[in-house]
Amino acid sequence: MKRSRNILNWAGFAIVLIAVVSYVPFFALSPATRDIPWANYLLFLIGGALLAVGVRRAFRDSAHYHGKISGSILTVLSALLFAFFVVSVTYLSKQIPAAGTALRVGQKAPAFVLLDTAGNQVSSADLLKNHHGLVLIFYRGYW
């Protein structure tokens, strides 16, 4: 009797990969899925369920289905990817500098060199040669 491929293992792993790589380009753009990435957690849950069914099927009915080794490896990789995602989203993304190291109102800013819109380097020292002050504007990113 010919054994069938166990496509559930690979489909589950593919969904787990989609859950990992879809956060930044898609789900991090919306506040509803950025702060608590429920959509990614749902994708992880679906992928994990497919992997569990595929591995269970491979071990229970190994005469009909392949996938004992590959399913086990993909399950471990999926668990590692899930752990990496959770640590990245809940801990590493929240690591911002402490407010104690920020400049205070009226405090002199250190000298710096940045690129202008044309790609040329502009230093704060050059700008302050002919002027009494310099206005710095900081644009807040997302978090």
Provide the percentage of residues in the chain whose pLDDT is more than 70: 97
Give residue 126's pLDDT band: very low, low, confident or very high (50, 70, 90): confident
Q: Is 79 contained in some domain?
A: yes
In a domain, 48, yes or no: yes
At 52, the amino acid letter reads A
87 in any annotated domain: yes
Q: How confident is the model at residue 60 (pLDDT cuts 50, 70, 90)?
A: very high
**Comparing 35-49, 51-65, 103-117, 126-140, which segment has the lowest mean pLDDT?**
126-140
Look at residue 74 and tell me if it is in a domain: yes
Is residue 122 a part of any domain in this protein?
no
Q: Let me know if residue 55 belongs to a domain.
A: yes
Does some domain include residue 136? no
Residue 138 located in a structural domain: no
Nearest to 37 by CA among 48, 51, 22, 57: 22
Q: How many domains does the chain have?
A: 1
Q: Within its chain, how far is the Cα of 132 from the centroid?
A: 43
pLDDT at 142 over 70: no
**What is the domain range of residue 19?**
7-94
